[in-house]
Chains A and B, each alone.
Chain A
Amino acid sequence: MANNQHEKEAFRGTGGLLLTLGIELVLYALIMAIFLDHGGTTLIIDVILAAAAIVYFKRNHALADKISATLAANRKAAWIGVIVLLLAVPFVLQASAYWLFIVITAGLFMMACLGLNIQLGSTGMMNLAGAAFQAFGAYTAGLLALNYGLPTWLTLLAGALVTGLFSILLFIPVLKTKGHYLALVTIAFQFMVVILVENMEWTGGPQGLKNIPLMNFFGYSFNEPLNLGFITLHKYANYYYFTLLLLFALGIAAHRIYHSWVGVTAATIRDDEVAAQTNGVQVNKWKLTLFVLGNCFIGLSGAFYSHMVGFISPPNFAFDKSLVMVSIVILGGMDNVLGIILGAFLLIILPEKLRFIQDYRFMIYGIVLIVMLIFQPRGLLPFVPRSYAELIQRYRHKLLQGKKAQGGQEA
């Protein structure tokens, strides 16, 4: 019923459509302005605007509700608008390839964090070895491409799968420990992997792997500028569009998992493992499956990275990076795909902009992390508990079918 009420409150018709697109366009312009501005003025203005908007909407709930209802009512148009605007990013950032590169990096973090979110947000399994799993993906792809000259699509796939396989190494600790202890297991694993990679011959040791072939799909090299006929975009545009494609695919996959029985199973495990087990949930099976699945996402992002930059070395996969990934998931809001996007934007792109305070960057990063977690411990976009009414609605026909089948058998 709540849905209907919202629809009544929404701005209807063309006005609503224009408002939706207008909001998107304004937000987009504000964000792109940050990249295009060489100094930090726009950033400061944006932060002030964002703070003002938050304060205003907190006081004026009615308007906020109305706007969100309008967005919900124009869902299709809103998505089309978002896609068009995202496709336009390389055009806008034509002159500043550096920022396009940063945006892609943030995209790779989002990819990894989608996987981490399956583990941490949905199932409640701590994983502070994200960077180590990324290293598995990156080194697998790099070594396969360097030593055997395998094509990119295969090395990317292999990177994801091998990472999944290696994460099975950790299955006993993951199933048998939780809380602080699981955190320690993953931290120990993270350090072990980095030390081993640094000391082994065939991984290139501290020098890492150089000259990894850049992406090349069936003869189309990503290293060439993207020529669209009327305009020639920087070569990073290739990577950008591919990242976007992968993110959409993985995002949809994560969304489907969240809204399936697997997602519900994960939620029961997170909320109360013992209760889940007593109710017949196969806790161990699902924990392992979701852990491996999440690591596949992380491994894919690592493989992508090695093919984009062409050079990987152990410091690329240090503990700090794992920490950043976990921070993105928690700061954005657990079990929430939108939160991950916001978190990656805040933790990857903004610090890059803060280069004008150079040296103090990481210190400020630490302080901001502390302040945000103390004042907003549930993340910027706190996760909304599932509505089981909605879930039953969604699966109603399935449940009814099941009942009918049962009834038929009994009769």
Chain B
Amino acid sequence: MSVLDMIIQQSINGLMLGIMYSLVAVGFTLYFGVLNVINFSHGDFFMLGGFMALILYGIADTLGWTQNVPLLIIYLFLGSMILTALIAIITARICVKPVSKAPMLISLLVTLGLGIAIREAVRVFYPRGSDPKGFPTLLPQGSLSIGNIVIRYENVIIFVLGVLVIVVVNYLITKTKMGMAIRAVAQDGEAAMMMGVDLDRTIDITFLIGAAVAAVAGIMNGFYYGQIMFNMGAMMGVIGFSASVIGGLGNVYGAIVGGILFGLLETFAAATLPMGAENKRVFAFFIVILFLVFKPTGILGEKVYERV
């Protein structure tokens, strides 16, 4: 296998992972724009998306709806997105919104606490929730080889789906009225309110979009790895936040670029460094720290001057 082949192969794998990270990072960026809060429970919405799909699959299985696979997949995605978004909106109203004006420390701890509560609720209330849960394999298995490069069909579908979600989110935010409201609030909440933007509704919609997108990522993660676990949200939250910071916090395109970059960093570290497979995240986080120090505004962020 030549070096070029290796690079292409790893790029494909990295893009696949990266698109998943991007979907989580988008939520961080949206919440930060609208509420000025880093929502550390966002990773747990990702996890919740996977578990909701699992529950919905269980229901479908007992009712015998599993013959029509494409329809089943659509049902899993839509159902999980709606349920996760509902939970996100409720929790945001109860505990994220009240602390958005509080010092950063408080909002940080409250959202971390919310993450613990969600994670533990899944562990306690899901039957045998402490164990890893197998995820149904619904996507077509098998792979396509071009020369030495192997592409799994599953990955292609996940990648295309991820791009599709990003295109839809982009459309929602740039072309629709509610997207305009989100952008207006992100720029200046008070001014937006004076222009007649319903702040509460905008926040709800932001959480709806963010959590639904995270839920998609959660299901994709389930299909990709074949199993999910109650505590996978904690790491994903940190990765998503890192990705949104690398890209530039507050910028949706930045989150996408950051997510893909993080995915590529991980896969290349795993493939090239000694002991890379175990330590890939160490390398990726190291790069994140370098970014924070030398380019804290991220790749696409605007330069912010501190006002004295």
Contacts and interface: CB of A to CB of B under 8 A. Distances in A.
Interface of A: 120, 126, 172-173, 176-177, 179-181, 183-185, 187-189, 191-192, 195-196, 198-199, 274-275, 319-320, 323, 326-327, 330, 359-360, 362-363, 365-367, 369-370, 373-374, 377
Interface string B272-290: 0001001101100110110
A373 B113 contact: yes
Nearest to A124: B105
A173 B292 contact: yes
Contact of B114 (A176, A183, A185, A370): A370
B160 interface: no
From DSSP, what is the main secondary structure of chain B's interface residues?
A: helix
Contact of A184 (B103, B123, B235, B241): B241
From DSSP, what is the main secondary structure of chain A's interface residues?
A: helix
B285 A192 contact: yes
B261 to A, nearest CB: 15
Contacts of A274: 306, 308
B129 to A, nearest CB: 9
A363 B275 contact: no
Contact of B285 (A176, A183, A188, A374): A188
A326 B113 CA distance: 12
23 contacts: A179-B104, A180-B104, A180-B249, A184-B245, A185-B293, A188-B242, A188-B288, A191-B235, A191-B238, A191-B285, A196-B282, A199-B275, A319-B234, A323-B112, A327-B113, A363-B120, A363-B121, A363-B124, A365-B113, A365-B116, A369-B113, A373-B99, A374-B95
A126, A177, A188 — which one has the most chain B CB atoms within 10 A of its CB? Answer: A188
B38 A173 contact: no
B228 to A, nearest CB: 19
A126, A183, A184, A326 — which one has the most chain B CB atoms within 10 A of its CB? Answer: A184
B193 interface: no
A330 B306 contact: no
A126 B116 CA distance: 20
Given A180-B38, A185-B289, 14 more contacts: A126-B105, A173-B293, A180-B104, A183-B108, A188-B238, A188-B288, A192-B281, A323-B112, A362-B116, A365-B113, A367-B117, A369-B116, A373-B106, A374-B110
Given A183-B108, A184-B245, A187-B238, A196 B292 contact: no
Given A199-B279, A363-B117, A373 B109 contact: yes
Contacts of B286: 188, 192
A195 B116 contact: no
B99 A366 contact: no
B98 interface: yes
Contacts of B234: 319
A183 B235 CA distance: 15
A377 B99 CA distance: 9
Nearest to A362: B120
A176 B293 CA distance: 6
B296 interface: yes
B267 to A, nearest CB: 16
B110 A373 contact: yes
A120, A365, A373 — which one has the most chain B CB atoms within 10 A of its CB? Answer: A373
B285 A370 contact: no
